[in-house]
Amino acid sequence: MPRMEQFIASINIYDYERFRDTIKTRCNISRTTWSNWRNGGSIEKKYKPIIDQVAMEMFGRTVFGTIEGGEQ
């Protein structure tokens, strides 16, 4: 299972909605791009640290391990 898909499966629906909305805003991506990522599509390298920062702020862990201090 791709990391993003696995991470999303580990959080509840309310946290997922906040996580999704924050990522979409910070990365300035479309709903289609988010849907592709959520379903295992390729995520450009430049977005991974942003996603990890949001995950760290919200959950104290990272998705991809691009920043220090969070468990994967």
Look at residue 31 and tell me if it is in a domain: yes
Look at residue 71 and tell me if it is in a domain: no
Alpha helices (runs of H) in 1-72, residue ranges in sequence order: 3-9, 13-27, 31-38, 48-59
List pLDDT tens digits, range 32-72.
999 999 999 999 999 999 999 999 999 999 999 998 765 55
* pLDDT value of residue 72: 52
- The mean per-residue pLDDT over the stretch 4-9 comes to 94
Look at residue 69 and tell me if it is in a domain: no
CA 40 vs CA 9, 36, 50, 61: distances in Å? 12, 7, 17, 19
Give the domain range for residue 34: 3-59
Count up the domains in the chain and report the number: 1
